[in-house]
Amino acid sequence: MRFTRRAALAVVGVATLLATSACGSDDDGGAGSTQVEVFTWWADGGEKAGLDGLVGQFTTACTGQTFVNGAVAGGAGANAKQVLASRLQQGDPPDTFQAHAGAELIDYINAGQVEDLSADYDSWGLKQAFPPGLIDNLTVDGKIYSVPANIHRANVVWTNKKVLADAGITATPADLAGFFADLDKVKAEGIAAPLAIGKDWTQLMLFESVLITDLGPEKFTGLWNGATDWNDPGVTTAINDFKRLLTYTNTDRDALDWTDAEKLVMDGKAAYQLMGDWEAADLDAKGFKDYGWFTFPGNGTTFQWLADSFVLPQGAKNPDGTKCWLKTVGSAEGQKAFNTTKGSIPARTDAVPGDYPEYQQAAMADWKSATQVPSCAHGSACSQGWQGAANSALGAFSTGQDVAGLQKALAAAAKQFAGK
Ligand code: GAL
């Protein structure tokens, strides 16, 4: 047994592990193994449903290989990323792990922790399958290191339709002023915290959406590539708007994961939650049907994107099995099996919208015409170090509410991690 199995056992539970590992065989996951340990943070609800879909396709396409579930629970990989970092450091990588396209992936590439897959892209025809912009985000010095499974959207507000109807809200707020007015209407119905939220990274997501509204998509993107100064007065406006939004949120926010906040919406204790579109799949998986959604007020047609991709780690025990997993992830069948149940849209451009639930059909249409911006909370905009610093700054703001202090901390993080 490797350390990895122990970590997985602690979090995923014995039953899942026994069901998915090659128990009773002599295969200990070492050299010559036919086990493929897939490391994710998709342990429950819609996330697990998506993973299960992919595993079903892997089982069909990769006979002779056995899927081993290395999931470590916790939204946005809050726990998984720590476990992964320590395993990589100890030279004990899983056979594959999920990594966000963009800056987060570049961390692993620069650290020499993942293998070049360019030749496989050619033999699997993947360069033609994915949009050129996404290929750019996966490429470093002409080489491609991961296979994207999807495109998720981060800047979406999920609603409880009944709570909104009870408050007499029938239209989607066009801007932040309209959103504040609606939040007041829900509050007047006796709902003390109409906007459900969780801990640090979920607060960073809400703050990023406010930044998009107050700065516009171009200046927002500039925050991450150095073109926009974090000391910009527009950032101060956004922090003040965000501070005001926090007055409508649950006070136990710093102790909650995104699914706990989602439950407040499902239970009618809140009307809204800003969350990525994995929430659509999770609400579906939990049988909650009375939900609506809209793009964060003031974001216009901006689509804040992130993409989950899978890699071949340096030193993986079963590279042949991993390659079969990666080929499955990139295939039309694999993307359909995964994305129809994950809330995301396929990264491949040849998907058939009619195969997907209502939400994803709308997202597919938006993706084609939207202005795209990346996400720091989910690694497309910023490195892992920068993301950690931003999460800590938001966590401190949640208790301290110091506007100048947050702006200073975010400016310092940009300087430290991007030299800007
Ligand atoms: C993101 C990931 C999504 C979803 C979400 C919540 O980082 O890209 O697929 O899992 O975290 O856990």
Asked if 259 and 317 sit in the same domain, the reply is: no
pLDDT tier for residue 419 given thresholds of 50, 70 and 90: confident
Closest residue to atom 1 of ligand 1, CA basis: 76
pLDDT at res. 267:
98
Asked if 207 and 287 sit in the same domain, the reply is: yes
Asked if 275 and 389 sit in the same domain, the reply is: yes
141-157 mean pLDDT: 97
Distance (Å, rounded) from C-alpha 159 to C-alpha 11?
30
Distance (Å, rounded) from C-alpha 372 to C-alpha 152?
12
Looking at residue 274, which CATH number applies to its domain?
3.40.190.10
Each residue of 219-258: pLDDT tens digit?
999 999 999 999 999 999 999 999 999 999 999 999 999 9
pLDDT over threshold 60, residue 2: no
Closest residue to atom 8 of ligand 1, CA basis: 308
Asked if 376 and 236 sit in the same domain, the reply is: yes
* Number of independent structural domains in the chain: 2
pLDDT at res. 391:
98
Asked if 231 and 178 sit in the same domain, the reply is: yes
**Three-state SS letters, 236-267:** HHHHHHHHHHHCCECCCHHHCCHHHHHHHHHC
pLDDT over threshold 90, residue 20: no
Asked if 343 and 359 sit in the same domain, the reply is: yes
First to last CA, the chain: 45
pLDDT over threshold 90, residue 22: no
Asked if 162 and 141 sit in the same domain, the reply is: no
Could you identify the atom of ligand 1 that is nearest to the CA of residue 306?
8
Could you identify the atom of ligand 1 that is nearest to the CA of residue 377?
7
* Last-in-domain residue among 344, 369, 394: 369
Asked if 269 and 182 sit in the same domain, the reply is: yes
Asked if 287 and 143 sit in the same domain, the reply is: no
Each residue of 378-395: pLDDT tens digit?
999 999 999 999 999 999
Asked if 290 and 260 sit in the same domain, the reply is: yes
pLDDT at res. 16:
40
Asked if 13 and 136 sit in the same domain, the reply is: yes
pTM of the model: 0.93
pLDDT over threshold 50, residue 203: yes
Q: Residue 48's domain spans which residues?
A: 5-150+307-369
What's the chain's average pLDDT? 93
pLDDT at res. 177:
98
Q: Sign of dihedral through CA atoms 298, 303, 309, 314?
A: negative
Residues 406, 393: contact at Cβ < 8 Å?
yes
Kindly report the CA angle at 304 between 402 and 69, in degrees rounded to 5? 100
Could you identify the atom of ligand 1 that is nearest to the CA of residue 342?
9
Asked if 112 and 228 sit in the same domain, the reply is: no
